[in-house]
Amino acid sequence: MTPDTLCFISLALAALPGTLLLLNLRAYAPPPPTPQGQPRGEGVSLLIPARDEERNIEATLRAALASPGPSLEVLVLDDHSSDRTAEIVRGIASRDTRARLEQAPPLPRGWCGKQHACHVLASRARYPTLVFLDADVRLSPDALERIEAFLDQSRAALVSGVPRQEVGTLSERLLIPLIHFILLGFLPMRSMRRSRLPSLSAGCGQLIAVRRDAYFAAGGHAAIRSSLHDGLHLPRLFRRHGFATDLFDATGIATCRMYRTNSEVWPGLSKNATEGLGSPPLILPMTALLLGGQVLPWLLLGGVGAPLSTGAGMAALLALLLGMLPRVAAARRFRQPWLSCLLHPVGIAALVAIQWWGLARSLAGRPAAWKGRSYATASPTASPAARLTAPGGGFQKS
C-alpha cells in the first residue's frame, strides 16, 4: 500500500469522529438552570460508595451538603475502608442530619465492589430520585436541582454526565481528556435520543441519576453485579427494559480528579478495558480507526515513507485537522489543558496501548486489581456498538 493511498485512508478514518464530535457539541448540553427559590421535587437521595477515600470524602461531602433545601439525604457507604473514611463521614454527619454513614455488608462472591455498594445504597435510600456519585466528584450547590430539572426535561429514566476532569500529571493530561473525544466522537447523540436501542446507550459512572421506580424495575446494579463498568452497563440495562436514557454536560456543575499520580493512571484505565474498547470484537477495528485516523496523518506529513503527491498531502493535512480541530473545540468547552491537544496523537497511541494491555492481561487469566480487591475479567456480553459508545471504553473508575 503506497503512502498516497494511506493518506486517503487516514482521511476517511478521521472524518467520522471529527465530524460527529463537532455535531455533538451542540446536542451535549448542560442541564437547565432552575429559577432561584423554586422548590425541589419530591426529594433526592445522593449515594456515595467510599472505600479508602479519606483524601476525597470530606470535600465531596461538604460540597454535596451545600445544596439548598431540606429534601435531600446524602448516604455514604463505607466499604470496609482501612483509613479514616468512616471517621470523617461520621464527624460531618453529627453536624448535618442530611448526611448518614452506612456500613457495607461483606462483599458477596461474584460482585464488583462498586456495584455491590451502589446496590446496598439504593436499597437504603428513601427518595424517588437516586443520584450515584463517585467519592472524588465535587458538586456545585445547584447541581442536584439542575440534574432533577434535566431528568424532567429529558423524560428519561437515567441521565448521566461527565464532570469537569481535573488533571495534574502528564499521564492524566494525555489520557483523561480523551473521555470526551471517545464519547462525542463515536456516539450519535440525536439518534440516541430518538431511540431506546441498547447499542446507543452511554453514561459516565462518576455521576448517574435515575428514577427510583425504573431503577428497581430494571434490576439496578444487582443485574450488572460482576461488571466493572456501570457507566456502560447500567444505561444499557435500562434501555433493554424499555426506559429512555440521556446525557448532559456536567462540566459546569461537577468536578472530578480520577487519579493523582502517573502510576495510578495505567492500571486504573486498563482494569476494565475488556468491557469497552479493549474487548475482543472491538480491539482490532478500534485500533485501526484510532491509529489510522489520529496518528497516521502525523506520521505521513512528518515524512515517514515516500514523498507524497499534492493531493495525498492535502488529504493527510485534512485528516490531521479533522483530528485536531474537534480536540481544540472540546478543550475550550470542557476546560481541558492545551497540552492534551498538542500531544493528541501521543495520547491516542497511549490509549490504544492500554486497551491492548488490558486485553492481554485478561487473556492471560490475570485478574484486574483495584483498591485491594482482585476481579476476574470475564468475557463481556455487551454488543460491540454498546461498548463503542461507552465514554472511553475504559475510563470508568470503580
Do 7 and 308 form a contact (C-beta atoms < 8 A)? yes
The C-alpha atoms of residue 19 and residue 184 are separated, in whole angstroms, by 10
pTM metric for this prediction: 0.90
Q: Which residue's C-alpha cell is 470508568?
A: 396
Q: Which residue's C-alpha cell is 462540566?
A: 251
What are the residues facing 277 on neighbouring strands? Answer: none
What sections of the chain are H helices per DSSP? 3-27, 57-65, 85-93, 113-124, 143-154, 170-175, 178-186, 189-194, 212-218, 230-240, 262-270, 280-290, 296-301, 310-334, 338-342, 344-363, 384-388
pLDDT of amino acid 183: 93
Do 257 and 168 form a contact (C-beta atoms < 8 A)? yes
Residue 352: count of CB within 10 angstroms of its CB? 21
Mean pLDDT (10-residue bins), the chain, 398 residues: 92 95 95 71 92 96 89 95 96 96 94 95 97 97 95 96 96 94 94 93 95 97 91 95 97 94 86 76 92 95 83 95 94 94 95 90 75 55 40 48
The C-alpha atoms of residue 116 and residue 124 are separated, in whole angstroms, by 13
pLDDT of amino acid 384: 36
Residue 277: name the closest of 370, 186, 192, 177 by CA: 186
Do 34 and 141 form a contact (C-beta atoms < 8 A)? no
C-alpha cell read off for 280: 475482543
Phi, psi angle pair for 158, to nearest 5° = -140, 130
pLDDT of amino acid 118: 97
pLDDT of amino acid 394: 46
Do 250 and 28 form a contact (C-beta atoms < 8 A)? no
